[in-house]
Structure 1
């Protein structure tokens, strides 16, 4: 998953980046409402982690703007533990969940997976497609019940494809899931990861739709 973190405290932002990166996520960080608006307008994110108190305004007002534009990206608010009014206002403004500071990074990661799962209308934590099962919480996958060794980015590509197996994902979409703003993107990185996945899951596991991108083959 690719996550936008809107947080002006550099220590907190760096901690979130480090913790979620270890869980296989690609993280982009901004410090202001204005930069968050620009980032959301130019990129597709799996979720947003949003602080309420920002240098140029309220995260809740930013959230209202996001929802007024029809942007349904899942949003998790970071709040002070004792600010009940902020939590209520945030949920009423369209937040999908909240987490009080200080927080545990493993809990943050789990809550993000949960709000993304709800967005996709899934009750189960496992993504299944034919003999392939992918477990986002554990960061692993199986084929016919047998473990499949995947690199972090191979896992990210497979995750993106299995979220909506019938949907064609373009190369640009997959690159967005794999890389943050500061990452160097190899020109054929997606093709290499798809090739490796086919070698591990079967040549027919992933279809190439010429001129459009990739999708999981019908099971």
Structure 2
């Protein structure tokens, strides 16, 4: 049986070129111009994957994604965006997207990413156990996204909403190096003078609750000149060579 994909994008030319290309690789493609119709469409037909335009009118792309995940629908979703910058990408991934691709599209890249997402989805647990995927363990801790609770050896830890959201961002993207500005904007919204300071306080509070020695954190580590990184196994993070070069270049520009 051929793989079936639903492309949700109002750009008719993009849908046609993408559909023609994917169909030459044994992928059956159907299209939908409006994300507001996505849930109704999925009630009648279930494709293997959805490619969803981020910039639907009125933000309907992200709204549709959020509604799918809130209803428990775990169909794989790849988001498309005019600009796949870090903040947009993180927001989309946080809301449950499986991958993100920026426009203009490289059709071969789309094919590769579709195959990669479908491979990951193929190893997922059955639908009857999908709720378990909302519980993520790291060390002696477990974060339950649906109940918005964190447990340490089965004992609950009380976190504020913002502390929980920050930990959720870290846990969902382990070993990702976040700039302070990226995290601050995700947590506090558009830029203002208090963002960075507020983020640092939030990280400090979170460390008090989940680190054995908050003064020498192992889980939420600070990378000087870059930001923060979540290391689930608690090993000391060593920047890759390209990150060292980037830091040196940043320091040179700042002089």
Distance 1:95 1:69 in 2: 14
Conservation of the 8 A alpha-carbon contact between 1:7 and 1:51 = yes
C-alpha displacement of 1:35? 2.0
Conservation of the 8 A alpha-carbon contact between 2:4 and 2:48 = yes
C-alpha displacement of 1:48? 0.4
Task: Say which one has the larger Rg.
Answer: 2
5 Å-filtered alignment, 1:108-147, equals 108-121=110-123
Distance 2:84 2:49 in 1: 24
Q: Secondary structure at the match of 2:30?
A: strand
Specify every segment of 5 or more residues in structure 2 that has no aligned partner in the other structure, as ranges: 125-255
Between stretches 92-101 and 29-38, larger displacement belongs to 29-38
Within the candidate set 8, 19, 23, 1:17 is matched to 19
Conservation of the 8 A alpha-carbon contact between 1:33 and 1:56 = no
State the match for 1:58 in structure 2.
Answer: 60
User: Superposition RMSD on alpha carbons, in Å?
Assistant: 1.5
Q: Paired residues, what number?
A: 122
5 Å-filtered alignment, 1:122-201, equals none
State the match for 2:50 in structure 1.
Answer: 48
Q: Secondary structure at the match of 1:4?
A: strand
TM-score w.r.t. the length of structure 2 is 0.46
Pick closer, same or farther for the CA change 1:67–1:103 going to 2, 3 Å.
same
Distance 2:72 2:84 in 1: 30
State the match for 1:73 in structure 2.
Answer: 75
Specify every segment of 5 or more residues in structure 1 that has no aligned partner in the other structure, as ranges: 123-219
Distance 1:2 1:82 in 2: 25
Structure showing the higher helix proportion among its residues: 2
TM-score w.r.t. the length of structure 1 is 0.53
Conservation of the 8 A alpha-carbon contact between 2:36 and 2:60 = no
C-alpha displacement of 1:84? 2.7
- Give structure 1 regions of 4+ aligned residues with deviation exceeding 6 angstroms: none
1:169-194 CA-partner distances (Å, limit 9, x unpaired): xxxxxxxxxxxxxxxxxxxxxxxxxx
State the match for 1:37 in structure 2.
Answer: 39
